[in-house]
Amino acid sequence: MFPAQTACCPTLAVTAESSGVSLSTLAVHGGRQANPYGAVTAPVVSSAPTVFPNTTALRAFVEARRQQRTEQVEYGRYGNPTIREAERRLAALEGAEDALLLASGMAAVTTTLLAWLPPAAHVVLTDGVYRRTRQFVGELLPRWGFSVSIWRWGTGERLADVLRPETALILAEVPTNPYLRVLDLAALTAAARERGILTVVDATFATPINLRPLTWGVDLVIHSATKYLGGHHDLLAGVVAGRRAWVQPVREMLGVLGGVSSAATAALLTRGLRTLGVRMAQHNRNGQAVAEFLEGHPAVAQVWYPGLPSHPDHTVARRQMSGFGGVVSFTLRGGLEETSRFVDALRIPLLAASLGGVESLVTLPALASYYNLSAEERLALGIPDNLVRLALGVEDTNDLLDDLAQALGGI
Ligand SMILES: Cc1ncc(COP(=O)(O)O)c(C=O)c1O
């Protein structure tokens, strides 16, 4: 169990493995540090600079920092005690030595890549990743002399066919959006390790409750903490976690690029993280029940959910994940008009483009992210007009099923 709390400031940095507790308990307590106020919750420290009482103290600080004996920082772009509390908790949940909090998921993706890519490196990106990640890697990195290959693993393409001698990094997203494809991470990391390639996995759709990429040999795991980790649709944040020596270059790059989080956001995130276990249990329950219900409904053409035996990656997902999350994608029998009518008839899910919060959200990808393209161009990208993405919240399962039934009945 957790070590007893002593007078001041022991780090309750435990891992699920070392403590024998479940991830749900770890979400409540893991990485918590006692504070000088005896407060149960961490104090929110919003100061940008740190004050030193005199030059002797300043000299002692810079000396300790030079020898890497202190976590203290002198300025908010390099760290903050409230942000550090969130980072310790995130590290504990991922089973990581260290974690770094950033301003957004995109800050986590871009800062990690810029920290880790050597000049003229080749990057492999899996297909189906978040479109802004695809834009950064596929459009911006080549402008700066990097080369990029998309690995279409979902169509059976072999990794060996896209690797090059100068491949430095593979960036994957597991599960993907909107089709929840689940890459086999053990196979990926075995192939990458053989060639000294860094593996980075964006596991936003899974959370550490459902998937812990580091245990499958991944080097760095990234999240848009805006989603399940925050869990309440009220913050933007990103995280990267892994071995301390792997996170450190990203931390140093963050101090230069400046995409830092804030104490207020970190406090909100820490509040959200403490209920991650119970929230994910309900997201998983709702996801499975809704996917099964939709698959049996005559108005539904196809359902994608890794917890369904019909999903192309069901076997890998069952081996690799302990739950399948709250996102369910499906196509309706009909076109944009019928699909829009269905979405408008829903009473519980809100029409909004995110996921992972307590409120269920629904999006129509053809309208939300791909409206500027023609129906044919959208289809070529795998986005038909009758596709719906449901990001189920933590509402009562039967209420959600009743709502879906009445909305489907009206199309
Ligand atoms: C899988 C994934 N990664 C990264 C991001 C970017 O995160 P943020 O919006 O926090 O910048 C998103 C956003 O939707 C996402 O879905």
Give 345-356 pLDDT, tens digit per residue: 999 999 999 999
Average pLDDT over the chain, rounded to an integer: 94
Residue keyed to tokens 């129509």: 364
Residue nearest to atom 9 of ligand 1 (CA): 105
Q: Does the CB atom of residue 58 touch ligand 1 within 6 A?
A: no
- Is residue 365 pLDDT above 60, yes or no? yes
Quick one: angle between helices 105-116 and 244-257, nearest 10? 110
Q: Catalytic: which of 32, 89, 212, 227?
A: 227
Can 202 be counted among the known catalytic residues? yes
Q: How far apart are CA 331 and CA 324, in angstroms?
A: 19
What is the per-residue pLDDT across 272-319, written as a single tens digit (0 to 9) for each?
Answer: 999 999 999 999 999 999 999 999 999 999 999 999 999 999 999 999
CATH T-level fold of 280-409: Aspartate Aminotransferase, domain 1 (3.90.1150)
Check if 177 has its Cβ closer than 6 Å to any atom of ligand 1. Answer: yes
CA 117 vs CA 38, 112, 200, 257: distances in Å: 43, 9, 12, 15
pLDDT at residue 7 in the model: 35
Pocket perturbation via mutation, ligand 1, pick of 126, 127, 129, 132 by most ligand atoms within 8 A of CB: 132
What pLDDT score was predicted for residue 5? 38
379: enclosing H helix or E strand? helix 375-380
Which residue has the CA at smallest separation from atom 6 of ligand 1?
Answer: 105
Q: Is the CB of 98 under 6 A from ligand 1?
A: no
What number is the average pLDDT over the span 216-228? 98
Told to judge if 77 belongs to the known catalytic residues of this protein, a careful annotator would answer yes
Does residue 376 have a pLDDT over 90? no
> Domain ranges in the chain?
80-273, 280-409
Residue 17 backbone dihedrals phi, psi, to 5 degrees: -70, -45
Q: Assess whether 285 carries a catalytic annotation.
A: no
Cβ neighbour number for residue 395 with a 10 Å cutoff = 16
pLDDT in tens, 9-67: 344 445 556 678 999 999 999 999 999 999 999 999 999 999 999 999 999 999 999 99
Residue 236 Cβ contacting ligand 1 at under 6 Å: yes
At residue 375, the pLDDT reads: 81
Proportion of the chain above pLDDT 70, given as a percent: 95
Kindly state the DSSP code that residue 161 receives in the 8-state scheme: G
Own/partner pairs, 10-16, CB within 8 angstroms, 24+ separation:
10/34, 11/88, 13/88, 13/91, 13/92, 14/92, 15/92, 15/95, 16/95
Q: How far is the CA of 224 from the centre of ligand 1 (A)?
A: 5
Per residue in 191-213, pLDDT (tens digit) is 999 999 999 999 999 999 999 99
Calculate the alpha carbon distances from 338 to 291, 343, 410 in Å.
20, 9, 9
Tokens at residue 411, please? 């199309």
What is the predicted pLDDT for the residue at 373?
A: 84
Please give the share of the chain, as a percent, with pLDDT higher than 90: 89
Q: Judge if the beta carbon of residue 224 lies within 6 A of ligand 1.
A: yes
* C-alpha 2 – ligand 1 centre gap (Å): 33
227 in catalytic set = yes
What was the pLDDT predicted at 10? 40
CATH code of the domain occupying 80-273: 3.40.640.10
pTM of this prediction?
0.95
What pLDDT does 152 receive? Answer: 97
Tokens 């004996």 found at? 69
| Pocket mutation for ligand 1, best pick of 204, 235, 268 (most atoms within 8 Å of C-beta) | 204
Does residue 147 surpass a pLDDT of 70?
yes
Q: What is the mean pLDDT of residues 238-263?
A: 98
Measured CA to CA in angstroms, residue 357 lies from 103, 171, 273, 337 at distances of 18, 25, 12, 28
- Atom 8 of ligand 1, residue of closest alpha carbon: 105
Q: What is the amino acid identity at position 161? A: D
Mutate to test the pocket of ligand 1, among 106, 125, 235, 265 (most ligand atoms within 8 A of CB): 106
